[in-house]
């Protein structure tokens, strides 16, 4: 009797905890969705349940050319960053994980060290670099700076993963006449999907949400990315913050992220190397 | 063709010599087995032949052509790895075809070769499976098939059966012997299982501490070991050893004194020994004779008797011996616990090793065994 009550209480506590965590994690986003669906007249009434289903905010946002343009810029920049970071990360991790050379550990430590710097610390230096390369107010400048910040993490994770792949697999490929490039792309890559998906996703999120560089390195509306565009959405007057459209814009740009995570979480499974070695 | 010549091959890892003075010629079509204790450099030697490891010293030739600097894929040598190393994301057929595809072989040619190899290895029904859906033995056959399709001049196999369970190992052993007979290709096989070595090899290369301890036909190594090391490694149970004193060195017979004081004329050339020198007498477990036909007797007491079904191994405690003496007996031999036992020694059946462990050449001829 006593034991059953205790077990019930434990159960209850467990689910209560889950509820708290879920609420904590989801509520802000939920509230953003609810707000985005309200017309501006009802904006400051606190409603916990969707009281209306008004798409006017979405219409306004998507009707604005500069916002659509910002989304396209964000897509271009984020995908480029992911592609470049994974390509460089994969090849670098092959060198760092599979090739023995002097100073390998130091290189890895330097890579890790570089990723510790706060963005602001390199902002002015990076600005000079971008000016010299003539990439100011150009999405390519953002791709360059995001890649710099994403690459250390990507290289680090992929190297760790690459090291765990069996040595004999690589040697078998060599005996089959594979060059390092073929070994990477046709033997290792298919086995690295979990790591690639994870790092790629994180790189994508970082690039998609980045604000500081995006604000500093762009000038005109048609070169901006989404986070900056959202921040610059202005209301009817100087004293009005247009919460409705801001919320609608935020939801619009977050949905792709959620969808991406949903798709790739299936890929983020280990055990893909099963069957390579032993019985 | 596939005649492999190694001349003075050596290997250093960071200044440490792990392989040295390897002189060996492997004839076309020969099945050569490298055996030796763990860490003796078997894999290293095999990997040097494959080209996965740089050769530090010496020269390696295949059919007269120097290959030291040739990259692995151009050596016309195939290797089967211990862990199989199959590509997990490819089907059996793709695994086998990968090397040919990279070499830009003709599509129909690839298909034909894969099919032939699959038939040879009884893999035809499994061609569309992935490695993780295969048993250990099947994976092993795929690993062999992957090498087979390339039709290399030399096959290298590094402990290919060590991950299989005992019964499957016996089965695969027979299949390998059969495969070698059918292909007639040169094969170099690494193992530390002496049964595999004895049954598969045309010649055994026994390695020890990075050097070749002895090369020869399995029965030659068994009956005419050149050193105590070889004698101890080949044969199970291990050869029995007794410390003895040389009393009468000679060309045809060398007299020694057993720990119990009995003299025994051993049929070896011990002319380089001196009287009074200590030596080691070696007797294999099956080489004891009936006491009335013996040249000398050893008395002892039965310790443990191991009944293996097809034979009995009696471990006999003998004064003065290093550990117990093992005697091979009939499978139904009648034994009482701790019974008194007399072992008959025959000078014809014994080996004699000098203080450095070198064998004194045996002065006996055995039908069909080259000395
Ligand atoms: N990459 C390496 N760096 C340094 N030493 C090495 C390296 N590879 C092997 N060795 C050393 O070389 C020696 C021979 O190794 P090898 O792998 O050839 O032994 P093996 O005879 O195949 O043993 P096993 O039966 O255990 O497989 C060992 O002492 C080992 O420690
Ligand atoms: Mg080995």
Counting from 1 in the atom list of ligand 1, the atom nearest the Cα of B34 is 21
Distance (Å) from the alpha carbon of B10 to chain A's nearest alpha carbon: 21
Residues of chain A contacting B72 with CB distance shorter than 8 Å: 174-175
**What is the helix (H) or strand (E) element at residue B95, kind and residue range?**
helix B92-102
Residue window 163-182, chain A: list those with CB within 8 Å of chain B: 166, 168-169, 171-178, 182
Residue with the smallest CA separation from ligand 1 atom 26 is B38
Q: Could you tell me if B78 lies within 8 Å of chain A, comparing CB atoms?
A: yes
- Enter the DSSP assignment of A189: G
Query: What's the CA gap between B128 and A231, in Å, rounded?
Result: 55
Query: What's the CA gap between B206 and B208, in Å, rounded?
Result: 7
Q: Show Cβ contacts of residue B239 under 8 Å, excluding neighbours closer than 6 positions.
A: B231, B232, B282, B283, B284, B285, B351
CATH 2.40.50.140 is right for the domain spanning B240-353: yes
Chain CA centroid to CA B180, Å = 17
Task: Report in angstroms the alpha-carbon separations of A110 from A97, A103, A262, B300.
Answer: 15, 11, 34, 70
Nearest ligand to the CA of B193 is: 1
Query: What's the CA gap between A59 and A248, in Å, rounded?
Result: 9
- Enter the DSSP assignment of B312: E
Query: What b/e readout covers B141-178, taking b as 16+ CB neighbours within 10 angstroms?
Result: bbbbbbbbbbebbbbbbbbbbebbeeebbeebbebbee
Q: What is the mean pLDDT of chain A?
A: 85
CB A169 to CB B98 under 8 A? no
Strands B203-208 and B31-35: parallel
The radius of gyration of chain A's CA atoms, rounded to the nearest angstrom, is: 24
What share of chain B in percent tops pLDDT 70?
100
> What is the pLDDT at residue A219?
86
**What is the mean pLDDT for each group of 10 consecutive residues in chain A (279 residues)?**
87 93 88 82 73 79 84 92 95 91 88 83 88 89 90 89 90 92 92 85 89 88 87 72 84 83 68 45
Per the document, the length of chain B is 371
Query: What's the CA gap between B82 and B176, in Å, rounded?
Result: 15
Q: Could you tell me if B70 lies within 8 Å of chain A, comparing CB atoms?
A: no
| B233, B221 contact by CB (below 8 A) | no
Residue with the smallest CA separation from ligand 1 atom 12 is B18
**Ligand 1, pocket residues at CB < 6 Å:** B 13, 18, 36, 38-44, 192
Answer positive or negative: Cα dihedral of A14, A15, A20, A24.
positive
| A208, A74 contact by CB (below 8 A) | yes
Query: What's the CA gap between A164 and A16, in Å, rounded?
Result: 40
Query: What's the CA gap between B82 and B76, in Å, rounded?
Result: 20
Q: Per-residue pLDDT for chain B (371 aa), expressed as one digit of tens each?
A: 889 999 999 999 988 999 999 999 999 999 999 999 999 999 999 999 999 999 999 999 999 999 999 999 899 999 999 888 999 999 999 999 999 999 998 999 999 999 999 998 889 999 999 999 998 889 989 999 999 999 999 999 999 888 888 888 888 899 899 999 998 999 999 998 888 999 999 999 999 999 999 999 999 999 999 999 999 999 989 999 999 999 999 999 999 999 999 999 999 999 999 999 999 999 999 999 999 999 999 999 999 999 999 999 999 999 877 789 999 999 999 999 999 999 999 999 999 999 999 999 999 999 988 88
| Domain(s) of CATH 3.40.50.300: residues in chain B | 4-230
Give the residue on A whose Cα is nearest the Cα of B131. Answer: A275
Q: Could you tell me if B132 lies within 8 Å of chain A, comparing CB atoms?
A: yes
CATH number of B4-230: 3.40.50.300
CA of A115 relative to ligand 2 center, distance in Å: 40
Counting from 1 in the atom list of ligand 1, the atom nearest the Cα of B46 is 18
Q: Show Cβ contacts of residue A249 under 8 Å, excluding neighbours closer than 6 positions.
A: A61, A67, A226, A229, A230, A233
Per the document, the length of chain A is 279
Residues of chain B contacting A178 with CB distance shorter than 8 Å: 73, 98, 102
| B344, B289 contact by CB (below 8 A) | yes
Q: Could you tell me if A1 lies within 8 Å of chain B, comparing CB atoms?
A: no
Query: What's the CA gap between A201 and A195, in Å, rounded?
Result: 10
| B278, B244 contact by CB (below 8 A) | yes
Q: Could you tell me if B13 lies within 8 Å of chain A, comparing CB atoms?
A: no
Query: What's the CA gap between A214 and B292, in Å, rounded?
Result: 102
Give the residue on B whose Cα is nearest the Cα of A191. Answer: B89
CB B82 to CB A168 under 8 A? yes
Query: What's the CA gap between A219 and A137, in Å, rounded?
Result: 5
Query: What b/e readout covers B122-139, taking b as 16+ CB neighbours within 10 angstroms?
Result: ebeebbebbbeebebbbb
> What is the pLDDT at residue A235?
67
CA of B243 relative to ligand 1 center, distance in Å: 33
Give the residue on A whose Cα is nearest the Cα of B144. Answer: A172
ipTM over 0.85: no
Nearest CB to B88; choose among A178, A186, A276: A276
Give the residue on A whose Cα is nearest the Cα of B87. Answer: A276
| Domain(s) of CATH 2.40.50.140: residues in chain B | 240-353
């Amino acid at each position: 009797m006593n034991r059953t009550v205790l077990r019930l209480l434990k159960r209850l506590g467990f689910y209560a905890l889950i509820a708290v965590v879920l609420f904590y994690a989801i509520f802000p986003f939920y509230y953003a969705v609810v707000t985005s669906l309200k017309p501006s007249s009802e904006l400051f009434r606190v409603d916990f349940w969707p009281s209306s289903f008004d798409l006017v905010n979405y219409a306004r946002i998507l009707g604005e050319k500069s916002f659509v343009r910002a989304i396209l810029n964000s897509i271009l920049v984020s995908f480029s960053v992911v592609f470049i970071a994974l390509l460089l990360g994969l090849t670098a991790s092959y060198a760092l994980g599979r090739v023995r050379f002097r100073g390998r550990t130091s290189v890895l430590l330097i890579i890790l060290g570089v990723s510790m710097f706060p963005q602001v610390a390199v902002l002015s230096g990076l600005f000079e670099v971008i000016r010299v390369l003539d990439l100011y107010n150009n999405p390519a400048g953002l791709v360059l700076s995001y890649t710099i910040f994403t690459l250390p993490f990507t290289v680090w994770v992929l190297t760790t993963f690459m090291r765990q792949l069996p040595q004999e697999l690589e040697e078998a490929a060599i005996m089959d006449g594979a060059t390092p490039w073929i070994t990477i792309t046709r033997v290792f890559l298919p086995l690295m999907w979990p790591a690639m998906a994870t790092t790629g996703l994180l790189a994508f999120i970082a690039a998609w949400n980045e604000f500081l560089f995006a604000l500093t390195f762009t000038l005109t509306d048609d070169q901006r990315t989404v986070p900056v565009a959202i921040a610059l959405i202005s209301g009817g007057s100087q004293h009005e913050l247009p919460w409705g459209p801001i919320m609608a814009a935020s939801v619009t740009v977050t949905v792709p992220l959620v969808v991406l995570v949903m798709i790739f979480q299936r890929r983020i499974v280990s055990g893909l190397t099963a069957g390579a070695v032993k019985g | 063709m596939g005649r492999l010549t190694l001349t003075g091959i050596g290997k250093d890892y960071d200044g440490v010599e792990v392989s040295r003075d390897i002189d060996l010629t492997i004839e076309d079509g020969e099945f050569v087995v490298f055996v030796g204790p763990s860490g003796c450099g078997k894999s290293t030697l095999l990997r040097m032949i494959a080209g996965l490891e740089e050769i530090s010293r010496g020269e390696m030739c295949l059919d007269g052509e120097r290959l030291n600097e040739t990259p692995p894929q151009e050596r016309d040598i195939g290797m089967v790895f211990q862990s199989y190393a199959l590509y997990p994301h490819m089907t059996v057929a793709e695994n086998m075809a990968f090397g040919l595809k990279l070499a830009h072989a003709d599509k129909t040619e690839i298909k034909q070769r894969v099919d032939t190899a699959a038939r040879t290895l009884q893999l035809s029904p499994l061609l569309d499976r992935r490695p993780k859906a295969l048993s250990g033995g099947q994976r092993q056959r795929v690993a062999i098939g992957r090498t087979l399709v390339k039709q290399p001049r030399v096959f290298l196999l590094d402990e290919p059966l060590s991950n299989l369970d005992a019964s499957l190992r016996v089965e695969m052993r027979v299949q390998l012997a059969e495969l070698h007979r059918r292909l007639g290709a040169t094969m170099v096989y690494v193992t530390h299982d002496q049964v595999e070595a004895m049954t598969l090899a045309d010649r055994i290369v026994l390695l020890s501490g990075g050097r070749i301890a002895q090369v020869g036909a399995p029965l030659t190594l068994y009956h005419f070991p050149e050193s105590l090391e070889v004698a101890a490694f080949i044969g199970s149970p291990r050869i029995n050893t007794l410390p003895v004193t040389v009393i009468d060195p000679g060309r045809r017979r060398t007299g020694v004194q057993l720990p119990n004081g009995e003299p025994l004329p051993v049929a070896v050339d011990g002319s380089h020994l001196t009287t009074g020198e200590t030596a080691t007498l070696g007797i294999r477990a099956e080489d004891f004779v009936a006491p009335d036909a013996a040249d000398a007797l050893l008395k002892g007491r039965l310790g443990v008797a191991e009944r293996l079904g097809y034979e009995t191994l009696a471990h006999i405690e003998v004064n003065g011996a290093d550990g117990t003496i093992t005697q091979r007996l009939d499978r139904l031999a009648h034994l009482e616990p701790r019974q008194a036992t007399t072992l008959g020694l025959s000078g014809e059946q014994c080996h004699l090793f000098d203080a450095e462990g070198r064998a004194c050449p045996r002065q006996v001829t055995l039908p069909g065994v080259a000395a």
